[in-house]
Amino acid sequence: MAWSLVFLGVVLLSAFPGPSAGGRPMPKLADRKMPISMAVALQDYVAPDCRFLTIHQGQVVYIFSKLKGRGRLFWGGSVQGDYYGDGAARLGYFPSSIVREDQTLKPAKTDVKTDIWDFYCQ
């Protein structure tokens, strides 16, 4: 009887493996993740693929990250408003040159290590 309960538990746990894809743990958004600044789009930008964010001139952009090194020309963020309607905003990268930063919300500097999978287009 005890073995049948253990077997049932193993079957149930394997049916719901949790937050992973292909055996690789997927990160969860922290409750404290907040934008570091806000900007206004100076021109339109059409995203070349799913890693990037399409932005229209005049939209408010919430900036969540600023890349360093070779990627320093790109920032990560989201936009909301008429473009998305009532739907949730999508996160993506965009050229830092197309926005004007208007308000800094979080002045602290934090470096976060990344790997190639952080920029994988699914």
Confidence of residue 29 (pLDDT cuts 50, 70, 90): very low
Structural domain range at position 53: 33-104
Reduced to 3 states (helix: H, G, I; strand: E, B; else coil), residue 74 is strand
Is 85 contained in some domain?
yes
Quick check: is 117 in a domain?
no
Q: Give the pLDDT score at 90.
A: 77
Is the pLDDT confidence value at 68 over 90?
A: no
Count of domains for the chain: 1
Give tens-digit pLDDT for 3-24: 665 555 555 555 555 544 445 5
In the predicted structure, residue 72 carries a pLDDT above the cut 60: yes
Q: Which of the pair, 73 or 90, is modelled with greater confidence?
A: 73
DSSP β-bridge partners for residue 60:
40
pLDDT value of residue 48? 92
Domain for residue 37, yes or no? Answer: yes
| Domain containing residue 54: CATH number | 2.30.30.40
How far is it between the farthest Cα atoms of the chain? 68
61, 94 in Cβ contact below 8 A?
yes
Asked, for residue 110, whether it belongs to a domain, the answer is no
